[in-house]
Amino acid sequence: MNNSKHELENGHFGQFGGQFVPETLMVALNEVEDVFNRYFHTPEFQKELNKYYIDYVGRPTALYFAERLTEHINGPKIYLKREDLAHTGAHKINNTVGQILLAKKMGKKRIIAETGAGQHGVATATVAALAGLECVVYMGEEDMSRQAINVFRMRLLGAKVIPVTSGSKTLKDAMSEALRDWVTNVRNTHYILGTVGGPHPYPVLVREFQRVIGREAKKQIIEKEGKLPDILVACVGGGSNSIGLFYDFMDNKEIRKIGVEAGGLGIETGKHAARFATGKIGVFQGAKSYLLQDDAGQINLTHSVSAGLDYAGVGPQHSLFYDNKDVEYTYATDDETLHAFKLLSQLEGIIPALESAHAVAEVIKNGASWGKDKVVIINISGRGDKDIDQARKFLPELEG
């Protein structure tokens, strides 16, 4: 692991991160950290993980030269890292497949998870089926009705989906509920958290399982272009697909890394999830990080056309990247995102997830100014099939 200033000290990334949890959870967090430290770097574990990445997830995912998009933008050469081609349709499976191996090492019989759009819930239900373990997924009632197909997918995979009716009935409430379950059932249960957020060790653990994205992309771009890329672009919800792409390029300071948050209806409306544009530092769901909160410290309601970016917090290591200016954070609005969603579909025959379309939107907006001699990689974190219902509402011109 790299030991630069990005790296962790005592569960913190600079002033961010930590383990702000009830004492009863410390035992569980320590157990996860111990098993990770003991096994992750061993050749046996890496071999087993790699076997699942190849045979089950379908890795390496393609790095695709988007020729028509490149022509359209008339700027840099654009490549797409195709996480949409991974099993279950997004990068989430890279993490869940890794964590299920840890759960088995710990001898846990029961898996719990939180989910927003349902993508992480589906990826968790999938690996629980693979391992033959009981699976319970907490999901906000509001999200369950917005993402009914994914609820059915989880049930089909054998998971129990529990509606969360507290708070705004969305992702943050589901995560609170999952943490509550874990406190009660620590002995037989492993909590598969879905992003690089929450208490230590999750921000490290999930990052290490997602780094495969950037590791592959680095090798693939050198094969195709004979050099490293100039710019990397990825959407930022909790921050796992972006850190997965960026991390193996962190020592290459000359490479620009752009993280795109959800601009929702516009920053001025307050209806967005752009934590770095307007957020303040605080403690939320186990870690210190930038987050959207009001003056009394209450968590703000967020808004985005994409459920996967609709979250008030962000992974703590991103907060350090932000303060150190190692990554540039910007946002795309719902309108810019829907335009990108349609454009990528029609220029390349690739329907991206609405989350990923935020990253595409940034390149559409600013790519022309970056210069034709540049090479860009956009992380297509997932495919858009899950978003078709949502898109039908917002793109009525396609309804004929």
Ligand X SMILES: *Cc1c(COP(=O)(O)O)cnc(C)c1O
Instruction: Please select the residue that binds ligand X; options are 235, 260, 291, 360, rule is CB under 6 A.
Output: 235
Nearer to ligand X, 75 or 198 (CB): 198
Phi, then psi, of 318 in degrees rounded to 5: -65, -35
Beta-carbon neighbour count of residue 23 at 10 Å?
A: 7
- Between 186 and 387, name the residue whose CB sits nearer to ligand X: 387
Q: What are phi and psi of 227, to 5 degrees?
A: -160, 170
Q: Within a 13 Å sphere around the CA of 305, how many CA atoms are in the beta-carbon half?
A: 31
The one catalytic residue among 77, 83, 108, 114 = 114
- Binder among 6, 92, 275, 288 for ligand X (CB under 6 A): 92
Check if 169 is active-site: no
> Judged by CB under 6 A, how many residues of this single chain contact ligand X?
20
Distance CA 46, CA 40 (A): 7
Q: Is 195 in the site for ligand X (CB under 6 A)?
A: yes
x-marked contacts with ligand X along 94-133 as a string, rule CB under 6 A: -------------------------xx-------------
- How far lies 377's CA from each of 54, 255, 389, 397, in Å? 22, 11, 28, 30
Q: Which residue has the tokens 């998971």?
A: 159
For the CB of residue 347, give the shortest distance to ligand X in the complex, in Å: 20
| 141 classed as catalytic | no
The question of whether 168 is a catalytic residue gets the answer no
- Residue 90 as a binder of ligand X (CB under 6 A): the answer is yes
- Spatial CA neighbour of 380 closest among 357, 346, 349: 357
Question: Which C-beta is closer to ligand X: that of 75 or that of 238?
Answer: 238
- Least Cβ distance, residue 236 to ligand X (angstroms): 5
Nearer Cβ to ligand X (77/211): 211
- Shortest Å, Cβ 330 to ligand X: 15
311-370: contacts with ligand X (CB under 6 A): 353, 355-356
Min dist CB 376 to ligand X, Å, is 18
Compute the least distance from the CB of residue 91 to ligand X, in Å: 6
- Of the pair 77, 92, the CB lying nearest ligand X is at 92
Q: How far is the CB of 109 from ligand X (least distance, A)?
A: 26
- In degrees and rounded to multiples of 5, residue 294 shows phi and psi of -90, 180
Task: Find where tokens 């393609």 sit.
Answer: 62
User: Which residue sits closest to ligand X, CB atoms considered?
Assistant: 382
Q: How far is the CB of 340 from ligand X (least distance, A)?
A: 13
Please give the residues from 17 up to 46 whose contact with ligand X meets the rule CB under 6 A: none
Query: Contacts with ligand X in 236-255 (CB under 6 A)?
Result: 236-242
d(CA 95, CA 89): 13
Among residues 77, 81, 83, 92, which one is catalytic?
Answer: 92
Kindly state whether residue 300 participates in binding ligand X, applying the rule CB under 6 A.
no
**Residues near ligand X (CB under 6 A):** 90, 92, 119-120, 195, 235-242, 308-309, 353, 355-356, 381-382
Kindly list the catalytic residues: 92, 114, 381
